[in-house]
Amino acid sequence: MRMSQYFLPTMKETPSEAQIVSHRLMLRAGLVRQTSAGIYAWLPLGLRVLRNIERIVREEQDGAGAQEVLMPTIQSADLWRESGRYDAYGPEMLRIKDRHDREMLYGPTNEEMITVLFRDGVKSYRDLPKNLYHIQWKFRDEVRPRFGVMRGREFLMKDNYSFDIDKAGAIHSYNRMFVAYLRTFARMGLKAIPMRADTGPIGGDLSHEFIILAETGESAVFCHKGLVDKDILSRKIDYASDLQGIVNEWTSLYAATDEMHDAKAFEALPESERLAARGIEVGHIFYFGTKYSKPMNAVVAGPGGEQITVEMGSYGIGVSRLVGGIIEASHDDAGIVWPEEVAPFKVAIVNLKPDDGAVGGACQKLYDALGAKGVAVLHDDRDMRPGGKFADMDLIGIPWQVIVGPKGLAAGKVEVKNRKTGTREELPPEQVLARFG
């Protein structure tokens, strides 16, 4: 993408409504614009990040055996009357009426709808297990939206639902998602720690929140230090196998949010192993048995012809929240520092002198060659002074900056700067291609 043509409204100053760093940076870097309290429009650069996060979530869900569907944002009130949650959910649910005066709602979650889809489509134990996910916008009419996209009213969420014949199967489904979540967040460059959680209004008796550590996190968290650096990506995962061992590795070490905190157990750890910090919840998984399947009659025929109520679990990742969460976890004074996997572009070419034919030609050549290799590259070909370009590039946080100026070029070199470490290298352009190809 050529920056001179890109819709990328960056700002030098911070709009006064933004208080936390991720919100400030998202506005300044031209990722989003607020349109109402807790509701945001995603601009091109922000949308690329959002799509990258979706992509990783999707790959990991598929890899763990979940299947993608897409359910609507608007649901019928009758559906929610069936589970008994229409009245229970309260004012956080946005209720609307259509032209025929039918009661509808903007979905805050999809347990009811998925249960009906499952119930109508699956009649035999032979079709189990099933795990269905979708990535869709949700609306929860928060009393007080805040922190930018991290607590918006409209937000993009991956939610999925598992259906098993018995509790053992349901626990296996739960464990699969547990491991898939560890991988998902690790791939985004995050250290997400699973913590024993309160099941809240969704209900159930087994639940973990996945929390990333950040100073500005909403909740206080306490855990064993060993959890921070545990690595999942280097392991080969067989989702068909018993995953309980891996789950136990993570759950045997102490980790809890403040509402589940057991000060005694925590203080029993050696002081050097205790970590008390703040965190942002980016995922939440639940096993809830027959809480929905029973009232909504989601049953299948068992081997002996008997009717068996299915065992369910639900699993959520706050996709749009992650954009803010990643920034909270990865930024510096100059701006955002995107982890490569989610970065809107991997490489940025900074043309220091656009009206110099040689410099422009070298930039264009690099741009075309990198593009041909499938590298996402942003070309700052704007007619601006270098200072502003550097500032913008640091602000939007592209991992690699290839800086091309007349001086270096005369010596046959361009400069490659790493956004995260600040290290710079002078290389001939061909080597740049080799590096990022």
Partner RNA sequence: CGGGGCGUAGCGCAGUCUGGUAGCGCGUCUGCCUUGGGCGCAGAAGGUCGUCGGUUCGAAUCCGGCCGCCCCGACCA
Q: Does residue 146 touch RNA according to CB under 7 A?
A: yes
Q: Given candidates 111, 281, 328, 380, which one binds RNA under the rule CB under 7 A? A: 281
Residue number, 202 or 246, with CB nearest to RNA? 202
List of residues 6+ apart from 161 with CB closer than 8 A:
110, 111, 114, 115, 118, 131, 132, 133, 312, 313, 314, 315
Q: Does residue 133 touch RNA according to CB under 7 A?
A: no
Q: Given candidates 4, 15, 41, 332, which one binds RNA under the rule CB under 7 A? A: 15
Q: What is the CA radius of gyration of the chain?
A: 24
Q: Does residue 208 touch RNA according to CB under 7 A?
A: no
| Shortest reach from residue 412's CB to RNA, in Å | 11
Reference 381, options 407, 406, 356, 416; nearest CA is: 356
| Shortest reach from residue 326's CB to RNA, in Å | 15
Q: Using alpha carbons, list the distances in angstroms from residue 398 to 20, 37, 173.
A: 21, 29, 37
Q: What count of residues does the chain have?
A: 437
What CA–CA distance (Å, rounded) separates 44 from 327?
A: 17
Q: In degrees to the nearest 10, what's the CA dihedral of 269, 275, 276, 278?
A: -150
Q: Tell me the CB-side half-sphere exposure of residue 416, using CA atoms within 13 A.
A: 17
| Shortest reach from residue 308's CB to RNA, in Å | 29
Q: Given candidates 144, 234, 245, 423, which one binds RNA under the rule CB under 7 A? A: 144
Q: Given candidates 48, 158, 261, 284, which one binds RNA under the rule CB under 7 A? A: 284
Q: Does residue 361 touch RNA according to CB under 7 A?
A: no
Q: Does residue 316 touch RNA according to CB under 7 A?
A: yes
Q: How is 70-99 classified by DSSP, letter by letter?
A: ---SEEEHHHHHHHTHHHHSGGGSEEEE-T
List of residues 6+ apart from 270 with CB closer than 8 A:
none
Looking at 77-85, 153-161, 300-308, 361-369, which segment touches RNA (CB under 7 A)?
Answer: 153-161
Collapsing DSSP to helix, strand or coil, 351 comes out as strand
Contact by Cβ (8 Å): 277, 97: no
Residue number, 299 or 349, with CB nearest to RNA? 349
Q: Does residue 38 touch RNA according to CB under 7 A?
A: yes
Q: Given candidates 85, 151, 158, 224, which one binds RNA under the rule CB under 7 A? A: 151
Question: How many residues bind RNA, per CB under 7 A?
Answer: 61
* Per-residue binder mask for RNA (CB under 7 A), 218-247, x = binder: xx----------------------------
| Shortest reach from residue 136's CB to RNA, in Å | 13
Number of helices (H), then strands (E), belonging to the chain: the values are 13, 23
Q: Does residue 352 touch RNA according to CB under 7 A?
A: yes
**Binding region for RNA (CB under 7 A):** 10-17, 19, 34, 36-38, 92, 140, 142-147, 151-153, 155, 157, 200-202, 209, 218-219, 281, 284, 316, 318, 321, 334, 352-353, 355, 385-388, 390-392, 394-395, 403-409, 414-415, 417, 424
